A and B are shown apart, each in its own frame.
Chain A
């Protein structure tokens, strides 16, 4: 069966510090991968999506970046965090020929 992992579960970082969030998927190959962010009390905002290794599409301009070094690994990064980067970060995947998007457990980031 398929499983999606995200770590860390929670993170508190000072403004200006770097960020690296990791997402890995098991039990499938060649998935589409997504990064979403949910600010407190808001809906989910799609940040990045990837259809394959090294292929990243950005949905909104910001100080975040994403990379996909392996088929089932998706990384969200920042060189310098802003207060506005605080939120609940969710990784999701969808398998080839399927329609259901599966979400990971999320990382709750607080920038202080």
Chain B
């Protein structure tokens, strides 16, 4: 599976937007981009996924670069409950994911 690169940590003020970057320069044409997040002492939870087009759901937005070599998870208005480790993952087998989690980005929200 192609690898992703994320910053180790980020900070953001409460109620402000957060942009979490992910680089995946070796992404293949069939790789989907998935984002999960892990709150303290819990298992990961799905946030969003996409292939080529930008995606929006109730939790976040996913902006995918035109060349697909990078993507950005956007939290439109961060709350303290959004403090978590965010993982950007590529998977070629849609629907049968063997997800490879890196170390992700630890997001700290400042009140």
Q: Which residues of A contact B95 (CB under 8 A)?
A: 94, 96-99
What CA separation (Å) do A106 and B9 show in the bound complex?
Answer: 24
Give the tally of cross-chain contacts (CB within 8 A): 55
Q: Which residues of A contact B42 (CB under 8 A)?
A: 103, 105-106
Scoring A42, A51, A103 by chain B CB atoms within 10 A of each residue's CB, the highest score goes to: A103
Q: Is the CB of B45 within 8 A of A43?
A: no
With known contacts A43-B103, A99-B49, A106-B42, A51–B98 Cβ distance under 8 A: no
What CA separation (Å) do A32 and B98 show in the bound complex?
Answer: 10
Q: Is the CB of A49 within 8 A of B98?
A: yes
Q: Which residues of B contact A99 (CB under 8 A)?
A: 32, 34, 49, 94-95, 97
**Does B43 sit at the interface, judged by CB under 8 A?**
yes
What CA separation (Å) do A97 and B32 show in the bound complex?
Answer: 15
Scoring A45, A94, A100 by chain B CB atoms within 10 A of each residue's CB, the highest score goes to: A100
Q: Is the CB of B97 within 8 A of A103?
A: no
Q: Is the CB of A43 within 8 A of B98?
A: no
Residues of A whose CB lies within 8 Å of any CB of B are 32, 34, 36, 42-46, 49, 51, 59, 90, 92, 94, 96-106
Q: With contacts A43-B103, A103-B44, A103-B45 known, what are 19 further pairs, Cβ within 8 A?
A: A43-B101, A43-B104, A45-B101, A46-B100, A90-B43, A94-B95, A96-B95, A98-B95, A99-B49, A99-B94, A99-B95, A99-B97, A101-B36, A101-B97, A102-B46, A103-B42, A103-B43, A106-B42, A106-B43
